[in-house]
Amino acid sequence: MNNQSFRPLTLAVRAPVAIFIAAVLSGCFGGVSKPQPAELQPAAALVSARQSWNTRIGPVNFPLEVTVSGNSVAVASGDGTVALLEAATGRDIWRTALNTPIAAGAGSDGKVVAVVTKGNEVVALQDGRELWRQKLGAQAFTAPLVAGARVFVLAADRSVNAFDGQTGRKLWAQQRPNEPLVLRQSGVMLAVGDTLVVGLSGRLAGFNPSSGSIRWEAPIASPRGVNDVERLVDLVGRVSRVGDTVCARAFQSSIGCVDAVRGSLLWAKPASGIQGIDGDDRLLFGTEADGTVMAWRRSDGERVWSTDRLRYRSLTAPLVAGRSIAIGDFTGFIHLLSREDGSLLNRLPTDGSAISASPVLAGNTLIAVTHNGGVYGFKPE
């Protein structure tokens, strides 16, 4: 089994009969002025990279996850366009229009691509044609995981559903206790060996992918405070996996690492970010809520370095790419920072609209998608 526009953070508020959307953005209430984004300093291009291809898919107004599988990249737009692209060239392997708005996607194993519509339907496609669609009990904001000939879906009510990848037959469903609020952004779902690892509230949980039974749960953060917003501790994608260790961020609360075989928490440290993290076998990297870029030791969570050169630039989660970490911002730039100290190595432009999905790496091609629907491939020179 397999792996923003500059807009307000949104929360899905669960009620008995409906899900309401409430916008929350620090510093935008009651006439309080918003902090000004840090001005960009000249980039010296210490790491050489060039744009190798560009294509379009349509505006992206949902929490898109770009999925890489082998030599293919799955993408989708808010209006219902779904495409599987060649990672090296950006050419369409296939492309289709669902003609219905998309809320989550795109998950792929290189053959089947799955998305979730705003009508709460999970739709699976192969070779540009629809294989099946199934109704969900709640909206989903996390891209389906397509793996092991199955499609797994994490919904906003913290239910986990498994479907047969070819027929859409529901294999199992697991419902966990839910909180009044959940994030309207990508959560956590990945495979580690024969375990399906899912973020549920502030915990990582290991599921048997065949039956849906829970093997273990490990808390990275616990609810705190007295109101619903203060108690919100959802885990957010992306995560950093090295071997059996999975490290993740709990929204505005902490980061931590879990042994995904034993289901034990290795460590957790306070951290205030709202986007996921990435890392290597030595360091973890993340962006805090104010745009400070941080590095922590993977072994114990101690801070190694930080830089404020990108503060208040509405950053994506980082991506480890060679000697750099790649981070997108709200003006469409991909910033390449040094993994060793956070210094600026290069800056790559796109179309001027926000980077809507955290950058991904396919082979030696760095791929970014913008709010206006531009898909860009960059290669080192």
pLDDT digits (tens, 9 = 90+) for 327-346: 999 999 999 999 999 999 99
For the chain, helix (H) and strand (E) counts, in that order, are 1, 35
Mean pLDDT of 247-272: 96
pLDDT at 47 > cutoff 60:
yes
For all residues of the chain together, what is the average pLDDT? Answer: 90
pLDDT surpasses 70 at 12: no
CA distance 111 to 127: 7
**Which pLDDT score, from 0 to 100, does residue 183 have?**
81
Q: Rounded to the nearest 5°, which phi and psi values hold at 274?
A: -120, -5
With pLDDT > 90 as the criterion, what percentage of the chain qualifies? 81
Average pLDDT of the segment spanning 87-112: 96
Q: What is the pLDDT of residue 21?
A: 34
Residue type (1 letter), 192: V
What is the reported pLDDT for 44?
85
CA distances from residue 285 to 134, 316, 347 in whole angstroms, order as listed: 37, 12, 18
Average pLDDT rounded to a whole number, residues 316-320: 97
Q: What phi and psi values does residue 57 have, to the nearest 5 degrees?
A: -130, -10
Taking the C-alpha atoms of residue 329 and residue 101, their distance in angstroms, rounded to an integer, is: 25
Q: What is the pLDDT of residue 222?
A: 83
Neighbours of 352 (CB within 10 A): 12
207 pLDDT tier (thresholds 50, 70, 90)? very high
pLDDT at residue 250 in the model: 95
- Within 10 angstroms of residue 35's Cβ, the number of other Cβ atoms is 12
> In angstroms, rounded to a whole number, what is the distance separating the alpha carbons of residues 103 and 141?
6
Note the CATH architecture for domain 1-29+64-184. Answer: 7 Propeller (2.130)
Position 32 confidence tier, pLDDT thresholds 50, 70, 90: low
User: What are the Cα distances from residue 312, in Å, to 250, 305, 308, 331, 379?
Assistant: 20, 18, 9, 12, 28
DSSP one-letter code for 185:
S
pLDDT of residue 28: 39
Q: Given pLDDT bands bounded at 50, 70 and 90, which one contains residue 230? A: low
How far is CA 97 from each of CA 57, 175, 191, 274, rounded to the nearest angstrom?
10, 32, 29, 31
3-state helix, strand, coil in the chain (%, to 5): 0, 50, 50
* Mean pLDDT on 68-96: 97
Helix (H/G/I), strand (E/B), else coil: 230: helix
Q: Cα 276 vs. chain centroid, distance in angstroms?
A: 7
Q: How confident is the model at residue 137 (pLDDT cuts 50, 70, 90)?
A: very high
pLDDT at 176 over 80: no
Q: Which amino acid is at 269?
A: K
CATH superfamily of the domain spanning 45-59+274-381: YVTN repeat-like/Quinoprotein amine dehydrogenase (2.130.10.10)
Residues of the chain within CATH 2.130.10.10 domain(s) are 1-29+64-184, 45-59+274-381
Q: How far apart are CA 105 and CA 94, in angstroms?
A: 16
pLDDT average, residue stretch 30-53: 85
Task: Answer whether residue 19 shows pLDDT above 60.
Answer: no
| DSSP for 97-159, written as a single string | E--S-EEEEEEESSSEEEEEETTSEEEEEETTEEEEEEE-SS---SPPEEETTEEEEE-TTSE
Whether residue 367 contacts residue 359, with contact meaning beta carbons closer than 8 Å, is answered with: yes
User: In this structure, what token pair is assigned to residue 348?
Assistant: 């790559």
